[in-house]
Amino acid sequence: MEIFASSIPIDIDTSYFSGLFPLLSPEKKTSIKSFSNREDALRSLTGEWLARKVISAKLNIPLEKIVIAADAKGKPVLLGGEIHFNISHSGRWVVLVVDERPAGIDVEQIRQMDVDLLIDSVFTEEEKKYILSGSGKDKTYRFFEMWTLKESLMKAIGEGLTLPLKDYAIIKDNDKIKLFSKDTNQYYFKQYYIGVDYVLAVCAKAETFPDNISFIHCKGYKT
């Protein structure tokens, strides 16, 4: 497994990705064109660029030969390749996990929100206890810790948020993270930090995670 991150080049015009756009699937093109916010479009394009750059280097194939499509559940997959990947972005960061088996990744920028309005519909009693044991900023921080863990799990399973979230209880005790569910598959977690305002979680079917994240500077992709 490898984990990569790239800061979103907000100062780069979307035209810098002009060479990348023709390589995208029709669904991805439509998605990017639908963004009314320029930064949302840049986040999506940077994620596509990062995935293709890493896959190209690992499989030694040119970017234009890489075909990424969405499966029946909407999860991006590499067609004809024996590699799994997952992308997430929030704020100024885009992150990517690449593994031999399905894995999920989620990054969230920590921001002010009414935690109490959301936890009942998303988290189990054990998870709520962990979140509510904090106060003020710490409670918000714990909320995003648990949210990224939950989201990375859903993405690793490949069902997105269509699964009943309360059927999967994630217990966090310092650096130890355990999953309790009726699912016979075992999943493991690791959290990373890429700045004081961001939380990152990775979920995989193996317990071996890299110690560090590889940072890649994005200059855009232009022919």
Q: What is the CATH number of domain 109-204?
A: 3.90.470.20
Task: For 148-195, write each residue's pLDDT tens digit.
Answer: 999 999 999 887 666 777 778 899 887 789 988 777 678 999 999 887
* Largest interatomic CA distance in the chain: 52
The reported pLDDT for the residue numbered 223 is 65
Domain 2-101+211-215: CATH superfamily is 4'-phosphopantetheinyl transferase domain (3.90.470.20)
What is the chain's mean pLDDT, rounded?
88
DSSP 78: E
Whole-prediction pTM: 0.91
The reported pLDDT for the residue numbered 69 is 81
The reported pLDDT for the residue numbered 16 is 84
Nearest CA to 24 out of 8, 6, 44, 5 is that of 44
% of the chain surpassing 70 pLDDT: 97
Nearest CA to 122 out of 97, 93, 143 is that of 143
Residue intervals in the chain for CATH 3.90.470.20: 2-101+211-215, 109-204
C-alpha 213/C-alpha 2 separation (Å) is 8
